[in-house]
Chain A
Amino acid sequence: MQYSKNYTSIRLIFLFLSGLMLLFIVAPLLGLFFSTSLPGLFETFRDSEVTNSIGLSLGISALFTLLAGVFALPLAYIMARREFRGKAFIQGLIDIPIVLPHSAAGIAVLGFISRDSALGKFADILGFNLVGSPFAIGIAMAFVSVPFLINAARDGFQAVPERLEQAARSLGASPFKVFRQISLPLAKPSIITGLVMMFARGMSEFGAVVIVAYHPMTTPVLIFDRFNSYGLDYARPVAVLFIIICILVFISLRLLARKRKGT
């Protein structure tokens, strides 16, 4: 009897705390949606500055997510399969962008691409200024979001039994064929999750992006710019529109990943 009473009280406390937690997430978003008028939202949707910024945010994030994949997947595979001295240190390095303040990450990226850097000087010779370019935005987005891809892919590769790779080797496959035909397809669900996370995190990045490129404006920078210059009422519809698009993109990619997994 005593046990049952205790159990019920704990359950009620847990439900109450969980409800508060969910409310904490949902309430600001609902507040934002309810305080935005539908005509205002449509007007924002017709604003070319807003739509251009959304296209820029999604496009650059998608492109740099795919580019990062070329380098991130081999690294994730090594981290999953090899034991070596300094592995914990390398894992720490991979996780650094997650724990850095994003403005500090932006400063770091700026140093990497500024005209004083080797990369900046090289671009200068070719007639480009990297600072304030879409390339700078992409680098800043990738810097803060690539750990999500590397870690998800590493977990995916770790979950592939090494026996299957050995079987493929003994059947005549080269290490590259084993990677492409066995490890990669079997780790695909985790890799897709990592790509989605990196893409979503990259397109919503503000702190690092605003330091390397105020213009051309990504949507998070535009929201900040409108808030700073005109106030909350002008920033809110852009924020709502971008949140709707982010959620739609996120849901579509998750559904696509689930469908692929099912087939």
Chain B
Amino acid sequence: MLSCRKLSYTVGDFTLRDFSLELNRGDYCALLGPSGSGKTVILELIAGLRPLKKGSVLIEGKEYTRTPPQHRPVGLLFQDYALFPHMSVYENIAYPLKIRGIDKVEIRETVHTFAEDLDISRHLNRMPDTLSGGEKQRVALARTLVIHPLLLLLDEPMSALDAPLRESSVALLRSVSAKGITILHVTHDPSEVDSLANRRIYLGNSSK
């Protein structure tokens, strides 16, 4: 489903060399490694946020190496969730649909469906800065899922959550995974993905 072949990238002092990864459809893969091991860079290369100089990215057999991020079938959940602070929760979730030119009625229906699914319906009129960490994560997840990505990239999704919220976050990600979406979950904490991942990849500092 996802095929990363010999990705190489240099930024500042950090160098990624010949990183390869193959994921099957429906996989929940944990990419583990300490800070500075290049986990986030790999996600950004797959999402197209960094231009790849060497190597290739294929999704469902189709070449996406030079495709701009907005045309890749990839959803990325950022570590800090990156909710747009000038938009309400509703507008945040509706944003990817609006830029695709979907009509207002359909947008409203889709946003409400996902909001209900992720238990954030009562927050739709709130602004992001009034939400807790767990609520922000659900909103960011809803915003990413409305575009029906084939591949979901999670960048340290639980690092901003307190211990009690992590359990509900695990349950939430399990339910997303159960829908059949292929997930690549980056974390430095192996316990976070104990009950989630069917595959684990360890990155050392060797690439540095």
Q: Which residue among B47, B72, B80, B99 has the maximum number of chain A CB atoms within 10 Å of its CB?
A: B99
Count, A-B residue pairs, CB within 8 A: 57
Given A177-B99, A185-B86, A186-B85, are A169 and B70 neighbors across the interface (CB < 8 Å)? yes
A182 vs B91: C-alpha distance when bound (angstroms): 12
Mark interface residues in A28-60 (1 if CB within 8 Å of B CB, else 0): 000000000000000000000000000000000
Complex contact A173–B99 (CB within 8 A): yes
Residue of B nearest to A166 (CB): B49
Residues of A near B99 (CB, < 8 A) are 171-173, 177, 181
Residues of A near B82 (CB, < 8 A) are 161, 163-164, 166-167
Residue of A nearest to B95 (CB): A171
Decide yes or no whether A174 CB sits under 8 A from chain B: yes
Chain B min CB distance to A192 (Å): 14
Decide yes or no whether A123 CB sits under 8 A from chain B: no
Complex contact B74–A170 (CB within 8 A): yes
Decide yes or no whether B84 CB sits under 8 A from chain A: yes
Complex contact A170–B47 (CB within 8 A): yes
Complex contact B100–A170 (CB within 8 A): no
Contact of B144 among A164, A171, A174, A185 (CB under 8 A): A171
Given A164-B84, A177-B99, A182-B84, are A171 and B78 neighbors across the interface (CB < 8 Å)? no
Chain A min CB distance to B193 (Å): 22
Q: Interface SS of chain B: helix, strand, loop or mixed?
A: loop
How many residues of B are counted as interface, with CB atoms below 8 angstroms from the partner's CB atoms?
A: 24
Contact of B96 among A164, A166, A171, A185 (CB under 8 A): A171
Decide yes or no whether A168 CB sits under 8 A from chain B: yes
Contact of B70 among A161, A174, A181 (CB under 8 A): A174
Chain A min CB distance to B118 (Å): 16
Complex contact A163–B85 (CB within 8 A): no
Within 8 A of A (CB), among B145-159: 147
Decide yes or no whether B134 CB sits under 8 A from chain A: no
Given A163-B78, A163-B80, A177-B99, are A170 and B85 neighbors across the interface (CB < 8 Å)? no
Chain B min CB distance to A171 (Å): 4
A167-B82, A181-B99 known, 19 other contacts, Cβ within 8 Å: A163-B80, A163-B82, A164-B84, A167-B76, A167-B84, A169-B48, A169-B49, A169-B69, A170-B47, A170-B69, A170-B70, A170-B76, A171-B70, A171-B75, A172-B96, A172-B147, A174-B70, A182-B84, A186-B85
A-side residues, CB < 8 A to B, are 161, 163-164, 166-174, 177, 181-182, 185-186
B-side residues, CB < 8 A to A, are 44, 47-49, 68-70, 72, 74-76, 78, 80, 82, 84-86, 95-96, 99-100, 143-144, 147
Which 8 residue pairs spanning A and B have beta carbons closest together? A167-B82, A171-B96, A169-B69, A170-B76, A163-B82, A172-B70, A166-B49, A170-B69
* 11 A-B pairs in the complex with CB atoms less than 8 angstroms apart: A166-B44, A166-B78, A168-B95, A169-B48, A169-B69, A170-B48, A171-B70, A171-B143, A173-B95, A181-B99, A186-B86
